[in-house]
Amino acid sequence: MCRSTSPYVAEAPGACLQQPPEGAPAAQAAAQSPGTTAGETWGWQLETAPCCCGCWERAAADPPSPSQMPREPRQRRAPLIPEARGGRAQRAVCVLLALCAGALLLAGESLVPTARSLIFHFATLQIGALLKGICYLAEEIFHLHSRHHGSFWKALSSCFPPRWHGPMLLICGSAYVALLGDGQPLCLHLILASLCQLLVLALGLHKPSAVEMSEMSERSKQNVAHGLAWSYYVGYLKIVLPRMKKSMEEFCRANPNLLACRKTWKLHILIPLSCDVYDDLEKADSNIQYVTDLTETTLARAGTKKRVYKHSLYAIRDEENQLWYCAVEYATPLQSLYAMSQDECAAFSREERLEQAKLFYRTLEEILKGSKECADAYRLIAYEEPEEAETCFLSREIMWHLQQEHREEITMLEGNHLHTPSMALDSAELNLQISVSDLPQPLRTDGF
């Protein structure tokens, strides 16, 4: 999306580097007039004739001067998207383990009692894992056919996932018997250990924390956001994004002045972290105006004949009252997250919705970055709406990304211009040795 003029010309929308020839359409003159009213400005969007002097070609060949550069994009508060968790928790375990081992050595206790206590505590943990598995097995027996295909072994394996719990318990028990020397029977130790672990289970102290559950869900890719992101990509973006450039090219052939900047020939996907999605963008922001629809894509999909996919082109009015054009739409799965948070059956709080929206953005970004067929055909616009309502917030957010795209294209064109070898020879660099005599002369000047 782009202003209706070349992004490298600091003129009003529709203006050229040269004056248009006599007899040019009156719509161009009206477009160049600074006194054009808002209604007139919206009206000539699709009627502006192509630039007659080839200003875009010259702009591409000659990079703009600093005075022609677009102004710097306004400062914006980027949303805080959490990154994937690293292995810091495991490293912290290793550090604490080393500290505990050092403290144990500094304590100066005798080896046998220390080893006996250590083995007993370790055996207690294994007993707790076995008792928890037995409790879960008591429930899973009633779901053998519906959950485990009638296999008792599968139910047993699901209740005792680490296969080394049993052997480890036997090893610890054997070592403890060998080191037993406090006079109390082994049976009493086992009963006390089992009692402590059963109390932990009864009181619910064994349940993982919110961070553990979040990390397990993210690592196993089982969050609601993961499913929504993959469904959105496979069922929609993977179909429409590879055709986005072609749709933009077809539109630009009919309206060459509206989308001159190729960096904006992509689908701009709005991702509000509040999941508040408007069905009509014009109602969301008065500076956003519908222009037209791009070329439709018709496919047979999941039993539906001639299913239609299409995108809408919008004009965005900036703070200088100039128009920029782009294809923009919301990420529709956010509507599902919002609806879930409003439905009591989903048990989905507002905090969970915000976390899932951020995870949806991060997952979708990772998926699209790994998709070669969707490369450079999209731009994700994630944002957090301010607590106090701001007029034209959405249009300013989109404009920030558009200005970034313009600057990226200018930088790219400048780089191409600097690396293009010049075919002309500079007279200052061309130093020909011309003899004043008609006779042949040596090229060397040192007398040889």
pLDDT tens-place string over residues 215-240: 766 676 668 899 999 999 999 999 99
Please check the confidence at residue 35 and state whether its pLDDT lies above 50. Answer: no
Mean pLDDT, residues 22-40: 39
**Which pLDDT score, from 0 to 100, does residue 161 have?**
66
> Mean pLDDT across the chain, nearest whole number?
74
Mean pLDDT, residues 265-280: 93
Q: Which of 1-5, 84-88, 147-151 has the highest mean pLDDT?
A: 147-151
Give the predicted TM-score (pTM) of the model.
0.64
Q: What is the dihedral of CA 300, 306, 308, 309, to 10 degrees?
A: 30
What is the distance between the alpha carbons of residues 316 and 172, in angstroms, rounded to a whole number?
71
What is the distance between the alpha carbons of residues 292 and 314, in angstroms, rounded to a whole number?
7
**Which pLDDT score, from 0 to 100, does residue 21 have?**
41
Please check the confidence at residue 112 and state whether its pLDDT lies above 50. Answer: yes
Q: What percent of the chain has pLDDT over 90?
A: 22
Which of 29-33, 398-402, 416-420 is predicted with the least confidence, judged by mean pLDDT? 29-33
Higher-confidence residue: 249 or 36? Answer: 249
- What is the phi-psi region of residue 221: left when phi exceeds 0, alpha when psi lies from -120 to 50, beta otherwise? left
pLDDT tens-place string over residues 327-361: 999 999 999 999 998 888 887 888 889 989 999 99
Mean pLDDT, residues 260-265: 78
Higher-confidence residue: 61 or 329? Answer: 329
pLDDT tens-place string over residues 358-386: 999 999 999 999 999 998 899 999 999 88
Mean pLDDT, residues 419-433: 46
Mean pLDDT, residues 271-293: 92
- For the chain, the first-to-last Cα distance in angstroms comes to 68
Q: What is the dihedral of CA 51, 265, 283, 360, to 10 degrees?
A: -170
**Which pLDDT score, from 0 to 100, does residue 158 have?**
81
**Which pLDDT score, from 0 to 100, does residue 241 have?**
93
Which of 94-108, 169-183, 425-439 is predicted with the least confidence, judged by mean pLDDT? 425-439
Contact 116, 176 (CB under 8 A): yes
Please check the confidence at residue 2 and state whether its pLDDT lies above 60. Answer: no
